[in-house]
Amino acid sequence: MALRNEILLSVHDLKVFFHSDNTVSRAVDGVSYDVREGETVCLVGESGCGKTVSALAILGLVPQPPGEIPGGEILFKGKNLLDLDEEALQEIRGKEISMIFQEPMTSLNPVFTIGDQIEEAITTHDTVEKTEAHRMTVELLTDVGIASPEERMRDYPHNLSGGQRQRVMIAMSLACKPDLVIADEPTTALDVTIQDQILHLFRELKEKRQMALLYITHNLAVVAEIADRIHVMYAGIFAEVGNVEQIFRNPCHPYTMGLLASLPSRARKGQPLYSIPGAVPDPAYKPQGCPFHPRCPYVQENCRREFPEMCDFEDHHFARCPVTYRQRKGS
Amino acid sequence: MLAFLGRSLIQKIITLFFVSVISFLIIYLAPGEPSQIDPLNPIFTQEVLERFRKEFHLDKPLHVQYFYFYRDLISGKSVSWKDNRPVLGKIYERFLNSLPLFILGTLITWTLSFPVGIHAAIRRGSFYDRSTTFLAYLLISIPGFFFAYMLIIFVVTQFHVPVIGMETFGISSTGWSWLMDRVWHLLLPSILFGAGGIAVLSRYVRNQMLEVESQDYVRTAKAKGLPADKVHYKHALRNALLPFVTMFGLILPGLIGGSVIIESIFSWPGMGRMAYEAILARDYPVILTVNFISAILVLVGTFISDLLYMVVDPRIRL
């Protein structure tokens, strides 16, 4: 269904490098994806694979220096965000694209009240009366399920629990009715029951507001619940791209297979949990050829030398692994 | 709130008592005695010494001396052993002299340190940042007395104005020229006082601001689409200022100890210099009273810090 909608955000071959004394970390090394109106796109991967950086790049929040965006384009409603100057970006941040961060504990300013911080998000982009901003804030807080919003508005962040703070962050990100919300591991810092409530809230809000969601997580269980399309990221590139059905039923990249095999729900009783051997490579010293080859059980001689192509497995289902492609297609 | 005030008052009185005992003991542990200040002077015969010791209770046990001293201090009857003038009156006179120097110096320090430090933090690594860093370390490393003499030589030879003391010796004019004379005398020591302060404080401000700029909530503020000025001066600065509230309370004791060197160089008849001279003369009542007042100023300063902290940081409720 979602594939029929208009493309809202289109990222082409985005690269983000970080320079330190003598090394260059290729944090994001050429990723391309589309987010369509009303669609939920997930970026999944281990810590340090470049998920957050690729999201920060959309809003122009990668600190430069040490960061550098040497190539690619980020088209949002046809405009390349990488070409915009700081002021033009400020117009887009919070108004058309907003972002929710991982740590609700530290992402709200401790010295301003909740009400002030949400009202500020409204008044920055829309000229509205103070009373109108207040009314809108109450409405937003009600929408995200905060009880007695009038009173909570006078509270400071430290008065609220982690789940409540994340709800406040969500309310703030919705303040100007953005077309795209980027959520960077919004449930990671919360415990499981709260996590479930927040996910539920996301689904509900998406339905109600028809917004697109770019959801970044390392949690496959979360992905299965909300994603329309999934991008599995590894060492700054996409390993596999597909919808929930394709990724979970028919994983084509050895990395995705490893991730799915390591889900606790797939472990057999009495057997140790599966884990992919090795660790994510340092983005400054990536292996030659396929970045996954040192950890891959199906590695072949070619994988060590040549960077793999994106292979088209089935309808809109791609994986960067020629080895499985040859196996599956039976040649 | 009332409970906090009461608790704080009691704590501070107890602290003050211990400060009084310890400072009293330290003074008496120091070698020498007021009666022996000039043992070779032929006027100080053994009888004179004995009379002197008796008169100032120096022959009594320590705890009795302690009692006598603080009784006199609290009833305001304590007198300097050097010139027999009431200690409090003497201190008050010197305090009035120190006050303009202290106020102007502190104003220079606090008004300049913040803009310098904040701009250096926002433009980290820029030419501005590197040059202010260099200047700050230069000012910190040059000894104050050396810098003072360089400045004095420069000002006196270039502008032909007198800078030593509080006013030109024997000046008889009144009105405008008297005022300008006073201002000229005040300017150099205040600038010196301020320069040292700026060098240190602007570094603190820069580091604090850098620390806050990397916090998640500053990123949130940017992601909201706020203009850079609002991100820096509202969201970041407000948090960066919190630790300085504590420091602001602690500048009060600087009234006494902050300017001993500067007052000595410029022959400024202030509190710091008086305390220094009293130590040389073993004038116990003056030393102990100045010490006691410093302790009170420290306690009052911390109390003000606590109150201010409560006002500026919503997380703190006392």
Instruction: Tell me: ipTM over 0.90.
Output: no
B226 contacts in chain A (CB < 8 Å):
90, 94, 120, 124
Asked if residue A253 is part of any domain, the answer here is: yes
pLDDT for position A3: 53
Residues 232-251 of B with CB under 8 A from A: 235, 238-239, 242
**What average pLDDT does chain B have?**
83
- Name the token pair of A278: 């090795």
CB B98 within 8 A of CB B92: no
The reply to whether residue A99 touches residue B227, judged by beta carbons under 8 angstroms, is no
Domain total of chain A: 1
Tokens 């220096």 belong to residue: A65
Residue B232 DSSP label:
I
The reply to whether residue B226 touches residue A90, judged by beta carbons under 8 angstroms, is yes
**Domain carrying residue A92:** 2-96+176-267+274-279+286-328
Q: Is the pLDDT of residue B171 over 70?
A: no
pLDDT for position A279: 81
- Residue A2 banded pLDDT, cuts 50, 70, 90: very low
A113 contacts in chain B (CB < 8 Å):
314
- A88-114, pLDDT tens digit by residue? 888 888 888 999 888 888 889 998 998
Of A90, A107, A156, the CB nearest to B314: A156
What is the distance between the alpha carbons of residues A324 and A307, in angstroms, rounded to a whole number? 15
Asked if residue A216 is part of any domain, the answer here is: yes
Give domain B87-312's CATH number out of 3.40.50.740, 2.30.30.790, 1.10.3720.10, 3.40.140.10: 1.10.3720.10
Q: Please count the helices (runs of H) and the strands (runs of E) in chain A.
A: 12, 12
Please report which helix (H) or strand (E) contains residue B95, including its range: helix B87-122
pLDDT for position B136: 92
Pairing of strands A180-184, A212-217: parallel
Mean pLDDT value across residues A54-79: 84
- B103-114, pLDDT tens digit by residue? 898 899 999 999
Asked if residue A116 is part of any domain, the answer here is: no
What is the distance between the alpha carbons of residues B217 and A165, in angstroms, rounded to a whole number? 12
Least confident of A127-141, A273-287, B127-141: A273-287
> What pTM was computed for the model?
0.80
Asked if residue A290 is part of any domain, the answer here is: yes
CATH number of the domain encompassing residue A49:
3.40.50.300
- B63-91, pLDDT tens digit by residue? 888 888 888 887 877 777 777 788 888 88
